Amino acid sequence: MVTDLVLAFAAGLVIATLTAPVGVSGAVFMLPIQLTVLSVPNPAVTATNLLYNVIASPGALFRYRRSGRVSGPLTRLLLAGTVPGVVAGAVVRVFLLPGPRAFRVIAGLILLSLGLWLVWRTRSRRRPRHPLTRRAVFALSLAVGVVGGVYGIGGGSILSPLLVGSGMTVAVVAPAALASTFLTSVIGACTFAVLALLTDGTIAPYWEIGVACGLGGLVGGYLGARLQPRLPERTLRLLLGCMAISIGVLYLVQGIA
């Protein structure tokens, strides 16, 4: 058990350091690690991953808040969609979709396409002529909230490449996406705690694993947020695109295998 906790902390530290600069909590990478390496069962892995987000995200948010980039209209718009979405997603997860295979294939295709699109757009230096409207951003955040509630991924891995690809800068998107991930995960984790009281099965989070992963992510997120101002916008866009591609391939392999 001690070895698992050390591995969980180390995984959270490394992943959050690499993902925080582009507004991703790292939960998409933690999910397969918790399933395969740390042996967290379904559907408890979703609640455990949300617990990781709750503990890990404040590290990066604290750093971003010091630069005044956390609160803003984009953050409020994302929260208006993701908060109700995550509650609906948690209910769907417990009662309709206990298995992860279909999600991995669908999410893998989406993330792979987003990553390739973002890398291509960045390398071609083309800017979109029609950025997303407020209504489109709200609809997107609502859908991502549902996905986050179903699979405990926070949503930043989907929101960030879409918003950045639409023309927004990483410096604007990253704090808003992480703030949305944090508050959505708090609501999602509470929803799963309530559902655990109302139904049978392994639904409640694995607290020791979730806390260990989260503490590693807390430190890593702060370090990653400190790195962001030192990295060029083009580098951050390419990093985000490559991250989406790698996650997409990982999910496709796991879903098809």
Tens-digit pLDDT profile for residues 63-81: 877 766 677 788 888 888 8
Q: Which of 113, 116, 126, 108 is nearest to 166 (CA)?
A: 126
Mean pLDDT, residues 27-38: 79
pLDDT tens column, 216-227: 999 998 998 888
Residue 133 phi/psi, 5-degree rounding, is -80, 165
Count of domains forming the chain: 1
User: What pLDDT does 169 receive?
Assistant: 83
Q: How is residue 57 written in tokens?
A: 């995200």
- Structural domain boundaries enclosing 78: 2-256
pTM of this structure? 0.76
Q: Which of 104-108, 128-132, 165-169 has the lowest mean pLDDT?
A: 128-132
